[in-house]
Every structure is written in C-alpha cells, then in structure tokens.
Amino acid sequence: MGLCEQSRPPAGTGREIPDPCPSQGPPDRPLWRYPPFGTPAGQPGFTSGGNLMGFHIRKSRVTIHGQPVHQPDAPTSDIEMARIRLIAVGLIFLCAWLVIAGRLGMLTFSESPQKPAKTTSTQVVIKPGTPRATITDRNGQILATSLATASLFADPRNLPDADEATTRLVETFPDLDRDDVFKKLSGKQHFVWIKRNLTPRQQADVLRLGIPGLDFQKEERRVYPAGNLTAHIVGYTDIDGNGIAGIEKSFNDELATHPAPLRLSLDLRIQSILHEEIRKTIKRFSALGGSGLVLDTRNGEIIAMASLPDFDPHDPGKASDDARFNRASLGVYEMGSTFKMFTAAAALESGQALPTDLYDARKPLKVDRFTIRDSHPESRWLSMPEVIMYSSNIGAAQIALQTTTPIFRAYLEALGLTQRAPVELPEVGAPLVPSRWRDINTMTIAFGHGLAVNPIQMASAFSAVITDGILHAPTLVAGKNDNATSPRIFSEKTVMTMRKIARLVVSEGTGKQAAAEGYVVGGKTGTAEKAAGRGYNRKANLSSFLSAFPMQDPRYVLLVSIDEPKGIPETYGFTTGGWVAAPAIGEIIGRMAPLLGIRPFDETAPEIASGLYIDPAPTKGGRQIVVF
C-alpha cells in the first residue's frame, strides 16, 4: 500500500477527506521522513542508521504507489562535530578540577604545623576544643564564662608593604607599639600575632583596612560579669585561657575538659552587700584595706568573701600587688581578742575551768621581760564571762595557763588554727606558729598575739564553738560537704555557754554597735597591734569583729577586719574593733538576713532572753584562780 493509500480513510465511513494525492505523476523529488531520536534499534519497519551518544538514528522505509523508495544515508557531519565539542568541554573541566585539587593539597601540606588555620579577611576559623566551663554562684548567676572572639594575626610573606601596614594598624590600635609591630610584619615568619581578643567593632575596623596578609583566628575570651566583686575568689586566666589565679587555677583541668558549670557556694547578693559595707568602712576610717566573709554554719560553705582593695580580673596586670593580694585567704594575721572565744571554749570543754571561776585582773601580769595589760582595765577580780565581755588580756592569759599549754594547743590544732585552711584556692596562707611553744606563748596566744591565722580559719573555728561543736571544713563549692563526716570538738553544754557569752558581748560588752535589731547578734571584738620589726606598732591596728546570728540557733558566721583604720571624731579617735568593725557587721546582717529568708525575732521574748542569759557578775563562792 502506498503512502497516499495509507492516509486515505476507507470509503463509506463518512469521514471522507480530500485526496491528499490526486492522480498525477510521481513527485519530482523524493519524500523524506526523519523519526525522532531515541527510537529503539531493531523495531520493525526501521533500519539502523547512525549513532550519537547512545541514541540510534533510524531511516523510515518509504513507499510510493507500493514501490520502495531508496533513501540515502543521513548526513552525520553536524552530529560528529557536536560529540567532539562535548568531549573537549569535559576534558577542560576535568583538567580544571585536577589543578584545583593539586593546589589544595600543596597548601595543606606546606603550611607550618604551628600555624593556626586561617581564613580570608572576612572569615574566622573555629578553634577546636571544648569551651571552658562556666562558673556560677549558688543561684546560677554567672561569675565567669567564655565568649568567642577574633584574634588578629599576619602572614608577613603576603604583606605588600610592611611599613604601610604597620602605620595603618597602629592608627587603628593606638595601644600597639609601632616598632614591635613593624618588626613582626617585616620578618620572614609565616605567622605572627598582632592583637588578641578583638571586639566586633575592632574586627570590623581591620576588615575596612583591606590589607592582604591579615587574617583572624577565632578564640575564646574569658569574661567576668561580676568584675572586681568576685575577683579574688574566681580568679582569672591568661590570654590562652589557662587559669592562673583563684578558682580558675584550682579547677583549671576540670573547667577545661568538663562542659558542666562549676557551681560555687557564693551568693552574689550577699557578696555585694559584704563588699559594699567593707568598702564604706575603709573609706570612713581612711584604712589601708579590709576583708570579710560570711560562712554557713551548717556545712562550712562560704556564702561571701571579700578583700579590698581589689582589681579588674579582665586586666589584672594593671593592678598593684596589694590589690591582687587576697587578705581573706592568703593574709595571715594576729587576730587579737577574737581569739579569747577559743581560749574560753578550750578551758570549759577540757574541764579545767568553770564559768564561775574568778581571775585576778587588778594589775598587769609580768612574765620575765613581758608585761600583759588591759586596754580598759576593770582592776578587779573578773568572772570568765566578764573576761570575755570586757576583753581582758590579763584574764585570758590566766584562763589559758589554767587549761595548761598542752591542752590549749591541742584544742587550737583540733580547730584547724595551726594548719593551712583546706579551702579550694591556690592563694591560702599558712599559719605562723611558734617554733617553740612555751607558757608565755600560750598566754599571748590566749588574747590573739603570737599566732597568725587567716580569716577563713577564724570563721570556721568560731562556727564550731557556737553552733553544734562540729568543725565543718570551709569550702567554696556548693554541696561539697553535704555528705561529709566532720569531727565533734565541743559538747552541747560548752556550746550553749559560749553562745551566751557571745551574746553578752553584744548586749552589754564591747560589741554593742554590732547589734541588728531583731536578729539576736553575738560575737567578739578584736584589736591587734600590727607587728613591726621585733615588736608591735601601737598606732597600727587590725580591727575586727567575729560574729554569728541568730544566737539562739546560729545560722551564719560573719567576720570583718579593717587594716590600719584612722581615728575619727565620731569614734572619739578610737580605732578598736568595737568602734570600727562592729558597726559594719550590724549593717551587713540587717541587709542580708531578709534576703536569706531569716525573719526578725522579738529579742525580749522570754524563750530568747532567758535562753541566752548568763549572769556575768562574780558568784559568791566562785573559785579564785591563781596561776602564779
């Protein structure tokens, strides 16, 4: 059947159409049909033609009036040309990828192994490693954390002009030394630091310079949101993030390898109050400095600890040695009459003395070339409570001798006053203990001269004396002592007597200005002349007050010490602990107690007044103690 016959529908179907092939002679040119690409090879009615990239080109079998028409082969020159072009393009891309891969390999293996990974001037490399852990207070307030920063470095080989680059960098960072920068940029090293820990604005300033060869590395900068408020406790790190002071140093490995925050026992609210009141006291009395702390009597946790002057932990290099010195932990001092509380407790617990015993304070004691006097002599026989209430050095020396030197020393050792305090700071001073402990040493140590300790030791020992008789190791880590077993040193009977005596000092004795209405404060004043050469400087005092509240069930111990206060008209020129440190204690307690949920009490209520009352007056029939 011919082509035209195939196209004509059968007659009588109702679908007649005009004859596409009217009767005429054969066409004057052959009819060609080119099927589309992709026709499967071997399909009936087709013969294989050319092949291009896997597609077969077929020629149709064409007939005219039933006779096959010869079809010449389709031209293939255009197809072959396309194939050649595709192959050429593919080879070009392959060569380009090989060149790029080779260059990357050369750069990777040719860099110095000490050189940090670098970027273009618009990127920052992430330094590998675990971020240093955060330090928080007991309530989760951040005390130290790390922030990502960019540090500027240079590859001098890529700098087009070292002198111009130096000039523009010094203009951007006036604190840089031009000679030092030029020396770095004109050298032959592959890597030199220019400035570490840039702020985002400083980094943007460098980017705007557009100097080739300058790049950034991402690092971490340690920041301290509380600033100087906690500088002596938290400490600080060096520029590479290694702890070099305070908690940062003590827990350096843990902070560097464990991501969990380190929770300290500090309460930032109480820390702020303590810091502020000590600062105000130093200013008021034109003192050299001061220290203080607040300790939880239940577990030995340090709630607050301050040392002034202090410093900015972000820039400790600019601080003086005195500002970096931690007076609360590293400094050791002869603490004066605050020691009399330990003297009385040791005498009572050992059974060597009774509260009703009487001591001759009518005149100074002379021992060899030493003379022991009272600052404000009563010049009569004093009971033990009166010795503490009036702060009699003469009476305290006799109580210590009554206890005997071996027993007295043993109790001081049990209270941790002759060993370094086991607190988690690298800056902890060791006590200064007599190399030969004789009776004269016992007598002077009884009123706080001859044995130098730090404030942490004092607060910890006092807590055992007036709380439950148990010595809890002082700590700066929250929860550390929760399951700890601590030794009992004093019986409940001794503790109750000491509470009454401590309350007597504030209600009727030298510590009246430490009172905070409603909070039943107790404690002991202390005024120690500072050592000078082979003797003491009578015009340079360390004035302290050691206290606790509320005394019917002591919850917190506080200590404030002021270094070399100067007399003022309001104190009639006096610089004793009762005039200088005691008022600061009252202010601190009044401010901190409500924050800690301690409600005020009616101090005149019978259960409180009678429970803490001790009659200081000498009792008829009381033993008159004669130790000479």
- The catalytic residues are 337
Cross-strand pairs, 556? 296, 549
Cross-strand pairs, 563? 289, 542
Task: Write phi, then psi, for 590 (nearest 5 degrees).
Answer: -60, -30
Please give the Cα distance from 523 to 498 (Å, whole number): 10
- Give the other-Cβ count within 10 Å of 43's Cβ: 11
Please give the Cα distance from 382 to 385 (Å, whole number): 8
Neighbouring residues of 450: CB distance < 8 A, sequence distance ≥ 6: 334, 434, 441, 444
Cross-strand pairs, 547? 523, 558
Q: Is 589 strand, coil or helix?
A: helix
Residue whose C-alpha is closest to residue 228's, from 329, 332, 326 = 326
User: Counting beta carbons within 10 angstroms of the beta carbon of residue 617, is it exposed (0 to 12), middle (13 to 18) or buried (19 or more)?
Assistant: exposed
What is the 8-class DSSP label of residue 355? T
Residue whose C-alpha is closest to residue 255's, from 116, 129, 127, 422 = 129
Please give the Cα distance from 402 to 408 (Å, whole number): 9
Neighbouring residues of 68: CB distance < 8 A, sequence distance ≥ 6: 61, 62
In order, the DSSP letters of 197-227 are: EE-HHHHHHHHHH--TTEEEEEEEEEE-TTG
Cα-to-chain-centroid distance, residue 382: 50
- How far from 256 is each of 134, 232, 237, 249, 260, CA to CA, in Å? 10, 20, 11, 11, 10
Q: Are 354 and 324 in contact (CB under 8 A)?
A: no
Residue with tokens 């607190």: 423
In order, the DSSP letters of 553-582 are: S--EEEEEEEES----GGGTT--SHHHHHH
Q: Are 187 and 108 in contact (CB under 8 A)?
A: no
Could you tell me where the beta strands, DSSP code E, fall in 373-450?
381-383
- Provide the token pair at 61: 């079998």
